[in-house]
């Protein structure tokens, strides 16, 4: 135990002396098994100001109301179909954070399931939230906070700001069941990189071994690094606290160009390189003008007026000199060369695709 404490103190000193440009391990990786869990539930929001479900079109809302009232001893006759406008069927979902304890509260999101126009002013009735295993992990209830606004007129016109059919209840669910975590099992911990990279995984293992001794960490692949950790819970927490604050110089991201065809946005990583290539960028303009020539006969010649259609076609090509990309130019030089010829985002996409086809672009081209 004394040696372990000495290692922890030494690792803490190394954290304070680490260079500022490096990144913390906690920003690059997480611990396997320490994760959030998604919860979902079905419930009713009541108290709406006439903006609830049109029950004639949402039979499941009526069914839910009948089932809820039956639990309180109120029986609605089968031949009675309540037409309510202040109730909406909703789906409730939340994220249960790791290590959440019984009695803690979590935020929940409430979304309309039917045709309710707005959930503003409504209150969610007691709703169980279940996990993927079907078990109830939290109970939700509370007033719905809606950030949107929806107003409609009798003639069908309406104004909508944001989405009023969904809202948030801060702290609206209480945790009723805890999710077992492998963190307290006492075995080795596995660090999982947020982005798979062999260089980063190797460097993380090296940094941990330099701080706690050789063999403490072993990188299995580009994502997972197995770390030997103390079995005692108190020492285990202190050990992880030191490890996640160790700093590492992550491996450089792969050269990649991302093109968003919907917005015309082009993003290039810093490692993008271009092999020697000559590029000429210009535009071809074709103009077609239609006009009519009128032939008028001389007076008293008994001739007829004749209309002759005439088409004028003009072809013009913008003169754009070729510009040369040198070998392995930097990202700044690529941008400067493109700006020099006045190319816009769509033109840049065409240039990059042409460079890729010519084998001169040393980067992955991703179109979204």
Q: pLDDT category, 340, cuts 50, 70, 90?
A: low
More confident call, 325 vs 125: 125
Is the predicted pLDDT of residue 5 greater than 50, yes or no? no
CA torsion sign for 121, 125, 126, 130 is: negative
User: Which CA distances in Å does 255 have to 150, 267, 274, 324?
Assistant: 46, 11, 11, 21
pLDDT of residue 356: 72
pLDDT of residue 337: 65
What is the rounded distance in angstroms from the CA atom of residue 45 to the CA atom of residue 67? Answer: 15
Tell me, which fold does domain 2-34+182-248 have in CATH?
Answer: Gyrase A; domain 2 (3.30.1360)
Residue 89, token pair as written in the block: 């069927």
More confident call, 65 vs 20: 65
Is the predicted pLDDT of residue 286 greater than 60, yes or no? no
Residue 22, token pair as written in the block: 């490096």
Provide the residue count of the chain: 368
What is the rounded distance in angstroms from the CA atom of residue 94 to the CA atom of residue 104? Answer: 13
Contacts of 109 (CB under 8 A, 6+ apart): 92, 93, 94, 166, 167, 168, 169
What's the rounded mean pLDDT across residues 223-251? 87
Most confident of 121-125, 147-151, 362-366: 121-125
Q: pLDDT category, 289, cuts 50, 70, 90?
A: low
pLDDT of residue 106: 93
Taking residue 227's Cβ as centre, other Cβ atoms within 10 Å add up to 21
Residue 196, token pair as written in the block: 């798979």
Domain ranges of the chain: 2-34+182-248, 37-152+159-175, 256-367
With beta carbons less than 8 A apart as the criterion, state whether 101 and 87 touch.
no
With beta carbons less than 8 A apart as the criterion, state whether 281 and 359 touch.
no
What's the rounded mean pLDDT across residues 36-55? 89
pLDDT of residue 282: 59
């Amino acid at each position: 135990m004394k040696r372990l404490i000495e290692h922890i103190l030494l690792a803490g000193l190394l954290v304070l002396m680490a260079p500022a440009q490096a990144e913390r391990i906690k920003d690059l990786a997480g611990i396997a098994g320490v994760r959030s869990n998604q919860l979902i539930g079905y419930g009713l929001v009541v108290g709406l100001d006439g903006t609830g479900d049109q029950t004639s079109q949402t039979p499941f809302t009526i069914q839910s109301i009948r089932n809820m009232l039956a639990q309180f001893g109120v029986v609605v006759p089968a031949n009675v179909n309540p037409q309510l406008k202040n109730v909406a069927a909703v789906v409730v979902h939340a994220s249960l954070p790791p290590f959440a304890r019984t009695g803690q509260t979590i935020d929940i999101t409430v979304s309309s399931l039917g045709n309710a126009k707005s959930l503003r002013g409504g209150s969610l009735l007691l709703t169980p939230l279940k996990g993927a295993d079907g078990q109830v992990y939290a109970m939700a209830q509370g007033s719905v906070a809606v950030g949107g606004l929806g107003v409609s007129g009798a003639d069908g016109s309406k104004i909508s700001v944001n989405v009023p059919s969904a809202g948030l209840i801060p702290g609206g669910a209480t945790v009723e069941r805890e999710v077992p975590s492998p963190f307290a099992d006492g075995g080795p911990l596995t660090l999982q990189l947020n982005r798979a990279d062999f260089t980063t995984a190797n460097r993380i293992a090296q940094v941990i071994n330099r701080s706690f001794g050789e063999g403490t960490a072993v990188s299995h692949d580009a994502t997972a690094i197995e770390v030997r950790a103390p079995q005692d819970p108190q020492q285990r927490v202190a050990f992880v606290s030191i490890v996640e604050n160790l700093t590492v110089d992550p491996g450089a991201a792969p050269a990649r160009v991302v093109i968003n065809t919907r917005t015309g946005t082009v993003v290039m990583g810093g490692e993008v390189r271009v092999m020697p290539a000559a590029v000429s960028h210009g535009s071809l303009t074709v103009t077609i003008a239609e006009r009519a020539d009128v032939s008028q006969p001389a007076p008293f010649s008994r001739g007829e007026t004749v209309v002759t259609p005439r088409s004028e076609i003009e072809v013009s090509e913008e003169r754009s000199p070729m510009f040369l990309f040198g070998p392995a130019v930097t990202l700044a030089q690529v941008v400067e060369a493109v700006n020099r010829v006045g190319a816009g985002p769509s033109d840049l996409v065409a240039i990059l695709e042409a460079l890729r086809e010519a084998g001169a672009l040393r980067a992955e081209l991703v179109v979204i």
